[in-house]
Structure 1
Amino acid sequence: MENAVKRAGGRPRSFDRDAALETAMRMFWKHGYEGVSFQQLTAALGIGAPSLYAAFGNKEALYREALNRYADKRGASDLSFMEGARSAREAVRLLLDGTASGLVDPEGEVGCMLNTGMIANHPDLEGLARDLARRRAQFRALLADTLQRWVEREQAEGLSCFVTAVMQGMAIQARDGFGRDQLQIVVNEALTAVPDEVGR
């Protein structure tokens, strides 16, 4: 592939940027940021380092793009599926049931890239860690906004913190080998803490 005729910037004509981003996303999703080396990326993508730099910049820039792709694939910015629920508990059930299924979906990788992709990090990666924390905070805020359909703002914010903590714990448990049935037990227990009143 490296012997193919090159485009400007060093990329071969057969280079498929979208497919390369998908491969990189799945590697980061499965192994975390620091669990994937630059050499592993170039080998998996079938390109040399100059081609990878030309296409994505450095590894950190590639990871940010992979995070964006993951968020789009997993609907991290779209909670509209909750809006038809009659109560906060029903809405949260829809979210947690979907989370439990997604964490062990055979079409994807086990776990959650946003929650388990960088639990600990080298000090040099503090900026990237802050970006992940910001993305998680944005999801908590979106969930709180959505939950206001059924409960007051203060309760919505508390519920959002609780539900996202449950989701993060489920992501770790999925990595530890929990299956769909075991994750459902967690969902069922968590739902007992969520109000069941009909929307206000």
Structure 2
Amino acid sequence: MQPEKKSRGGRPWSFDRDQAVETAMRLFWRSGYEGVSIGDLTKAIGIAPPSLYSAFGSKEGLYREAIDRYEERYGSIELDFGENPSLADAMRTLLEGAVRSVTHPDREGGCMVSSGMIACHPDHAPLAHDAAARRDALRGRIGTALHPFLDEDTAQRLARHLSAIMQGISIQARDGATPTELQGIVDDVVDGVAARFPA
């Protein structure tokens, strides 16, 4: 691995920092923050603990970079509903995009944000609060996207409902649910909302 930027002490790192973040992201995505040790990280990245601490400050620092990487690359949701969609069309686009994201064969199962840091040791509360804030921000974006179809209060209420569905889809995907099985959830949710809010 070739050196990239310099460490905090001014010496060049003897590893690819970008690849280290990518590797850590995959480990944290697969096993959760508390399921990955410093030893797991250093072994997978191919560095000694002092190099990890020099580059990232701590395991927490590396996790924060890893989850930022995840959101940048995999955390977006489909909010382009096309021309003149119905509310049901918009919801189907959103939920089917979520299913594809959490069951993609080249990725880890589930969503790193939706199912991350749900429960943790009190020492890791700041990371749990950060994960909750990321989920809340996503819910807000969904509510904004639904506002053209509904009044603001109803859009935000439906966004909370859909966020809960998406979290459940993420967890079931981690447990091995297939895209076909998860599609059944999408169909039922869309049918229910279409009946409540007929076009």
Give me the TM-score of the superposition, normalised by structure 2: 0.89
Seen in structure 2, the aligned counterparts of structure 1 residues 155 and 180 have a Cα distance that, compared at 3 Å, is same
Residue 12 of structure 1 deviates from its aligned partner by 5.5
Q: Please name the residue that 1:38 is paired with.
A: 38
Distance 1:11 1:40 in 2: 24
Percent of aligned positions with the same letter in both sequences? 46
Q: Please name the residue that 2:132 is paired with.
A: 133
The 8 Å contact of residues 79 and 94 in structure 2, kept in 1 or not, is answered as no
Q: Please name the residue that 1:99 is paired with.
A: 98
1:118 is the counterpart of 2:117: yes
Q: Which amino acid aligns with 1:173?
A: Q
How many residues are treated as equivalent by the alignment? Answer: 194
CA deviations on 1:61-95 (whole Å, 9 max, x unpaired) are 1111111111111243x654235451221111111
Q: Which amino acid aligns with 1:138?
A: A
Look up the SS of the partner of 1:114 in the other structure: coil
Q: Please name the residue that 1:167 is paired with.
A: 166
The 8 Å contact of residues 117 and 128 in structure 2, kept in 1 or not, is answered as yes
Give me the TM-score of the superposition, normalised by structure 1: 0.89
Look up the SS of the partner of 2:61 in the other structure: helix
CA deviations on 1:14-53 (whole Å, 9 max, x unpaired) are 4211111111001100101111001100110001111111
CA RMSD of aligned residues (A): 2.1
Seen in structure 2, the aligned counterparts of structure 1 residues 7 and 161 have a Cα distance that, compared at 3 Å, is closer
Look up the SS of the partner of 2:193 in the other structure: coil
The 8 Å contact of residues 11 and 54 in structure 1, kept in 2 or not, is answered as no
Distance 2:167 2:10 in 1: 40
Distance 1:29 1:11 in 2: 30
Look up the SS of the partner of 2:181 in the other structure: helix
Distance 1:55 1:85 in 2: 49
Query: Post-superposition, which runs of at least 4 consecutive aligned residues in structure 1 deviate over 2 A?
Result: 6-14, 78-85, 193-198
